[in-house]
Structure 1
Amino acid sequence: MHPRLIISFVSVALTVTAGFAQNINQPTVDQLVSKNIEAKGGAAALKALQTLRLTGKMLVQQGQIELAYLEIKKRSDEVRTEASLQGMTQIEAYDGKEGWKVSPFFGRKDPERMSADDVKALVEDSEIDGPLVDWKAKGSTVEYLGTEDVDGTPAHKLKVVRKNGDVSFVYLDPDHFLEIRVVTQRMRHGAHEEVETDLGDYEQAGGVFVPTSIESGRKGASDKQRVIIDKVEANVPVDDSIFHFPASK
């Protein structure tokens, strides 16, 4: 055989072998989801977690303004957030079917129903377990895209396509397998929206690890809102009525 042909053959063989080895070493979606569940505390602990009450502060305008913050979640798919300043409280809530809000900082003190586009973020936030747990039952699809740098960390990147077509790229820490970043792409009022959320400072409550530092805003924006949770309470009694649109007085 001609020397050049031998060299070419060896090069191809090495390339194929390296690619095959790389594919073998790559984790599967099921493996990463399983590790994510275990990292959070395990399937049993997640299932036992029925409510979450998060209390802390929200920093906006590059930290110049601080608001008192409260978020309450309840299975299944109910959430309410409150941000308070100088006697006024911004409320956003979702009861599993519809969302509503009170916006006193914009001169609107009466509750208003939210549009289907505006409520999308609340629907995602209502997930106590996050987007990966029970993704098949939720009607989502998940694809592993390899690793990507997240502030110096080679994070595992998973693409989650939700039932409504919205896409979330979930980044898992390579050592602890908890979410450290989620980038969500969605259509909102006919325009493409991309929101980046960084998660950190996980603390355990009810046997489940919950992020207590959440920084979120449009991808690439310098001014993002930051939520710092000071207190996490698990399985506290929660009245369903706080999630529903208030009855007329």
Structure 2
Amino acid sequence: MKSMKLAFLGAALLGAVCTYAQTADEVVDKYLNAIGGKENWKKVNSVITEGAMQVQGADVTVVSTAVQGKGSRQDISVMGMTGYQIITPTEGWSYMPFQGQTKAEPATAEMVKMGADQLDVQGALVDYKTKGHSIELLGKEDVDGTECHKLKITYKSGKIDTYFIDPATYLLVKSISKQSINGQEMELTSAFSNYQKTPEGIMIPMAVTVPLGPGLSADMTVKKIEINKPVADTTFKPSN
């Protein structure tokens, strides 16, 4: 009788785990449908965006260029100076003249590893199992008065993101990324709104609150988006 009870308990636990995983996948599927569909996103090879924001009273322009699996580059212009950050699968560079840098400096191995998700322009949840990521549904959590689905994404690299998805629209409204910066683990929070559909049929947030560091963020407005525009390989090489 005891062994029978244990068998029933094992079956019940297995059923609960399967239901839990299926529920997480249902949220992922609805999210992907809401942002234009997985098949549309799988056609995306490059994304170029131009955004504007103010940081401590200064106007900042950010042009982000990313090519699937090849490279990610951010060109940042402020106070008449332009710097950049580049990440590729094997290396990266940073040149920030407004922070006193006089030449491009190589990224550390840790920075390259943690920046790997920037090379996935289609998004981590598109074919996430094939990419080696895992997800967990952690119930719901309040975000500005809305009980949002809470998804934990553990990347192949070990990086962890938490997505908060609106149950009415299934759009991503907030994310929290755990990253190691200068040997210290930090949580960086981003917020997303004003989604617009591109001619390619995918949804992009045109308003993004971006983290700049501990306790510091800025509201960026996306002014321009280009999908699948050819990008030269030299884009992902340091220019000084």
Percent identity between the two aligned chains = 29
Provide the residue aligned with 1:236 in structure 2. 229
Matched residue of 2:103: which SS? strand
* 1:51 and 2:50 correspond: no
Provide the residue aligned with 1:208 in structure 2. 202
**Cα distance per residue 1:71-117 (max 9 Å; x no partner):** 11111252111111233112011122221111101221311111133
What amino acid maps onto 1:142 in structure 2?
I
Q: In the TM superposition, what is the alpha-carbon distance from 1:40 to its structure 2 partner?
A: 1.2
What amino acid maps onto 2:123 in structure 1?
G
Residues 212 and 218, structure 2, Cα contact 8 Å, conserved in 1? no
Q: Which residue of the other structure, out of 36, 60, 64, is the alignment partner of 1:67?
A: 60
Residues 20 and 137, structure 2, Cα contact 8 Å, conserved in 1? no
Provide the residue aligned with 1:185 in structure 2. 178
Residues 94 and 104, structure 2, Cα contact 8 Å, conserved in 1? yes
Provide the residue aligned with 1:136 in structure 2. 129
Q: In the TM superposition, what is the alpha-carbon distance from 1:159 to its structure 2 partner?
A: 0.7
Residues 69 and 89, structure 2, Cα contact 8 Å, conserved in 1? yes
- Cα RMSD (Å): 2.5
Provide the residue aligned with 2:11 in structure 1. none
Q: Based on CA coordinates, which of the two structures has the bigger radius of gyration? A: 1
Q: In the TM superposition, what is the alpha-carbon distance from 1:126 to its structure 2 partner?
A: 3.2
Provide the residue aligned with 2:211 in structure 1. 217
Alpha-carbon separation, structure 2, partners of 1:234 and 1:45: 11
**Cα distance per residue 1:32-91 (max 9 Å; x no partner):** 111111111112211111111111213212xx2211221111112521111112331120
Residues 196 and 219, structure 1, Cα contact 8 Å, conserved in 2? no
Alpha-carbon separation, structure 1, partners of 2:187 and 2:114: 11
* 1:37 and 2:54 correspond: no
The 10-residue stretch of structure 1 (117-126 or 231-240) with the greater mean CA deviation from structure 2: 117-126
Q: In the TM superposition, what is the alpha-carbon distance from 1:178 to its structure 2 partner?
A: 1.7
Q: Residues 174 and 144 of structure 1: is their aligned pair in 2 closer, same or farther, counting only changes over 3 Å? A: same
| TM-score of the aligned structures, taking structure 1 as reference length | 0.81
What amino acid maps onto 1:54 in structure 2?
T
1:123-202 alignment runs, 5 A limit: 123-202=116-195
**Cα distance per residue 1:144-187 (max 9 Å; x no partner):** 01111011111100111122222111111111212111111133
What amino acid maps onto 2:92 in structure 1?
G
Residues 194 and 218, structure 1, Cα contact 8 Å, conserved in 2? no
| TM-score of the aligned structures, taking structure 2 as reference length | 0.83
The answer for unaligned runs of 5 or more in structure 2 is 1-14
Q: Residues 190 and 25 of structure 1: is their aligned pair in 2 closer, same or farther, counting only changes over 3 Å? A: closer
Runs of 4 or more, structure 1, over 6 Å off, are: 23-27
Q: Residues 228 and 121 of structure 1: is their aligned pair in 2 closer, same or farther, counting only changes over 3 Å? A: farther
Q: Residues 123 and 213 of structure 1: is their aligned pair in 2 closer, same or farther, counting only changes over 3 Å? A: farther
